[in-house]
Amino acid sequence: MDNYKIPHDFLWGGAVAAHQLEGAYRKGGKGISIADVMTAGANGKDREITEGILPGHYYPNHEAIDFYTRYREDIKLFAEMGFRCFRTSIAWTRIFPNGDESEPNEEGLQFYDALFDELLKYNIEPVITLSHFEMPYHLVEQYGGWRDRRLVGFFAKFAETVMERYKDKVKYWMTFNEINNQSSVQNAWGGWTNSGILYQKGEDVQAVLQQAVHYEMVASALAVKIGHRINPKFQIGCMLAMVPFYPRTCSPADEVAAQTAMEHRLYYYGDLHVFGEYPSYMEAFRREHGIALDITADDLETLKEGCVDYIGISYYMSSTISSTPTEDSTKVAEGIYTARNPYVPKSDWGWQVDPQGLRYSLRLLHQRYRKPIFIVENGFGAYDKLEHGEIHDSYRVDYLKKHIVEMKKAMALDGVPVMGYTPWGCIDLVSAGSGEMEKRYGFIHVDKDNQGAGTLTRTKKDSFWWYQKVIESNGENLGT
C-alpha cells in the first residue's frame, strides 16, 4: 500500500437527496412527491404511506432540515470540510410539479441554478441524481407509477429539461437512485422507493415489478442518450444498492442460492445498465414464471444505446443467504433465505457492519463490468448525544475509517478504479427507511428530533474535523 497514492482528482465529498433535506415541500411551486405522503416510522416500525396528505399525521419530509432556505450556510460548512463534490438530487416535483406538464416550473429551475452556483463558488462539483425516491405523487395516482409506459416519456422530458438547463454547471449525473432497491418493496421495507407502485392484493407482484423495471431501465437509457447528446463530456452513471450476498456456509446449495440472489437483486440491473441487454438468466426466469412483458424493438435499441459511463454504488452492509431456513432467517424466494452473519456486528438498526465487504464488492463489480466505480453512499446511522455543544461520534469515525481503508486496499492492491467517495447524509437528515431524524449520519448535527421539534441549529461533530483532515491529506491521514 505504501507505493500507492489516491489520484489527486479523487472526488471526496458528501451525499444527500432532495426530499430528505430540502423541506419547503410546497414552496416555489413544488408539487407533492411520494416522499410527502410518508409518515414518520421509528426504529423497527415501518413508515405509513397515506392516500394523499391527511390531517393528524406527521410527515417528516415536509420540513426536513430546511436546506431549501439554509443551503448557503450548509454549503459553507461543506466547503470548510474541503468537499470537492456534493451529491444531491433534483426534486422532480420542483421542475414538473405533477410530472406530466408540458412546461417546467421556472421557479424550481432557478432554485437549482442558485444551488449549483453556490457549490461552484467553492469549487465543489455537483453530482446529481435525477430520481431519488421522490417521483411526483400525481404520477402514482393517475398512472400507477412505473406500471405505465407513459412514465418513460415524462421522465425523459424531465431529464432533458434539467440536463439542458445545467449543462455548463453539472458534469456528473446518475439516473435512478438504487434502482435495484425496488425488488424488496412490497411495503415490507416501509415505503416505496423508485417505482411508485403499491401492489394490489392477489396480483402477480413479479410480473408487475419486472414490467416496471423494464420501463425504468428504458427511461434511464434514454436519459443517458439525451445527456450524451446535450454534452458529450457528461459522465452519466447508474446507481446500485450494493449489498453483496455471501453464502451462509460452504455447502454448494448455499453457494448457488447466494449466486441466484446476486443475479436477481443486483446483476440484473447492473447488466442492463452496463451491457444494454437483458441477461439470459432473467429471460430464463420470465420463461419459468410465465411472465410476458411489453418490450418493443425500439426499447431494446434504446437500452443498447444508453449504456452508463460509470457505476455509482451505495454500500452500507453485506447480507447472507441460506438455501434452507435457519434461526433468524427470512424467506425472500423459494429456496432463498436471508440469514444472520455471525462474523459481523450490527448497528442499532440491525444493519450488518462489514468494512471488508466494501473491498469485496468493489472487486466483484470491477471484475464484471470494467467501469469506474463511484461510492456515492456509505455511512453509519447512529444515535448521537449533544452535550455542552459537542458531539463525540468516535463510532462514526471508526466506521468510516475502516471503510476507507478497505476502499484504499481495493484501489491499491486490487487495481479497482474508484472515482470518489461521498459519505451518506453528510449533514443529519430524514431517514428514508424509518423517517426518523435521530438515525443520524452527519458530520454536522441538526437540532431536530423524531417528532419534528428543534431549532434546526447546525453543530459540527468531532467527525467534521476528522473528515476535513482526510480530505486535506487526500486520504492519507485517517487518524489514529
Q: What's the closest the beta carbon of residue 8 comes to ligand BGP, in angstroms? A: 28
Q: Indicate the Cα dihedral angle 247, 252, 253, 254, nearest 10°.
A: -10
Q: What's the closest the beta carbon of residue 193 comes to ligand BGP, in angstroms? A: 8
Stretch that binds ligand BGP, among 28-36, 160-168, 290-298, 427-435 (CB under 6 A): 427-435
Q: Of the two residues 353 and 432, which places its CB atom closer to ligand BGP in the complex?
A: 432
Q: Are 116 and 133 in contact (CB under 8 A)?
A: no
Longest dimension (CA), the chain: 64
Q: Which long-range contacts (CB under 8 A, 24 or more apart) does 231-236 make?
A: 231/163, 231/167, 231/171, 233/171, 234/163, 234/167, 234/171, 234/172, 234/173, 234/309, 235/171, 235/172, 235/173, 235/309, 235/310, 236/173, 236/174, 236/175, 236/308, 236/309
Number of alpha carbons in the 13 Å side-chain half-sphere of residue 216: 31
- As a whole number of angstroms, the distance between CA 472 and CA 480 comes to 16
Q: Of the two residues 247 and 381, which places its CB atom closer to ligand BGP in the complex?
A: 381
- Among 224, 432, 444, 470, contact with ligand BGP (rule: CB under 6 A): 432
Stretch that binds ligand BGP, among 54-62, 166-174, 401-409, 428-436 (CB under 6 A): 428-436
**452 touching ligand BGP, by CB under 6 A:** no
- Among 173, 424, 443, 467, contact with ligand BGP (rule: CB under 6 A): 424
Q: In terms of C-beta density within 10 A (0-12 exposed, 13-18 middle, 19 or more buried), how is residue 302 classed?
A: buried
Q: What's the closest the beta carbon of residue 138 comes to ligand BGP, in angstroms? A: 22
Q: Of the two residues 212 and 426, which places its CB atom closer to ligand BGP in the complex?
A: 426
Residues 160-199 as x/- pattern, contact with ligand BGP by CB under 6 A: -----------------xx---------------------
- Residue whose beta carbon is closest to ligand BGP: 433
Supply 4's cell numbers. Answer: 500507492
Stretch that binds ligand BGP, among 155-163, 296-304, 324-332, 432-440 (CB under 6 A): 432-440
Query: Which one from 178, 216, 406, 436 is the annotated catalytic residue?
Result: 178
Backbone angles phi, psi at 208, to 5 degrees: -65, -45
- As a whole number of angstroms, the distance between CA 249 and CA 442 comes to 36
Q: What's the closest the beta carbon of residue 202 comes to ligand BGP, in angstroms? A: 29
Backbone angles phi, psi at 229, to 5 degrees: -70, -45
Q: Is 377 a catalytic site residue?
A: yes
Stretch that binds ligand BGP, among 224-232, 409-417, 424-432, 442-450 (CB under 6 A): 424-432
Query: Which one from 22, 216, 377, 406 is the annotated catalytic residue?
Result: 377
Distances (CA, A) of 382 to 216, 395, 432: 33, 8, 14
Q: Indicate the Cα dihedral angle 401, 403, 406, 408, nearest 10°.
A: -60
- As a whole number of angstroms, the distance between CA 271 and CA 282 comes to 11
Annotate 78-117 with DSSP letters as a single string: HHHHT-SEEEEE--HHHHSSSS--SS--HHHHHHHHHHHH
Stretch that binds ligand BGP, among 28-36, 114-122, 218-226, 431-439 (CB under 6 A): 431-439
- Among 11, 17, 221, 362, contact with ligand BGP (rule: CB under 6 A): 17
Q: Are 212 and 146 in contact (CB under 8 A)?
A: yes
Q: What's the closest the beta carbon of residue 18 comes to ligand BGP, in angstroms? A: 10
- Among 46, 433, 465, 468, contact with ligand BGP (rule: CB under 6 A): 433
Q: Of the two residues 23 and 104, which places its CB atom closer to ligand BGP in the complex?
A: 23
Residues 56-85 as x/- pattern, contact with ligand BGP by CB under 6 A: ------------------------------
Q: Are 225 and 232 in contact (CB under 8 A)?
A: no
Q: Are 158 and 116 in contact (CB under 8 A)?
A: no
Binding residues for ligand BGP restricted to 276-335, rule: CB under 6 A? 314
Q: What's the closest the beta carbon of residue 94 comes to ligand BGP, in angstroms? A: 17
Place of cell 462514526: 396
How crowded is residue 153: how many other Cβ atoms within 10 Å of its Cβ? 12
- Among 214, 439, 440, 448, contact with ligand BGP (rule: CB under 6 A): 439
Binding residues for ligand BGP restricted to 212-241, rule: CB under 6 A? 241
Q: What's the closest the beta carbon of residue 434 comes to ligand BGP, in angstroms? A: 6
Cα of 24 vs its chain's centroid, Å: 21
Cβ-Cβ contacts under 8 Å for 420 (sequence gap 6 or more): 10, 11, 12, 13, 84, 85, 127, 374, 375, 376
Q: What's the closest the beta carbon of residue 448 comes to ligand BGP, in angstroms? A: 15
Q: Is 101 a catalytic site residue?
A: no
Supply 295's cell numbers. Answer: 418490450
Binding residues for ligand BGP, rule CB under 6 A, total 13
Residues 367-396 as x/- pattern, contact with ligand BGP by CB under 6 A: ----------x---x---------------
Active site residues: 178, 377
Contact residues: ligand BGP, CB under 6 A: 17, 177-178, 241, 314, 377, 381, 424, 431-434, 439
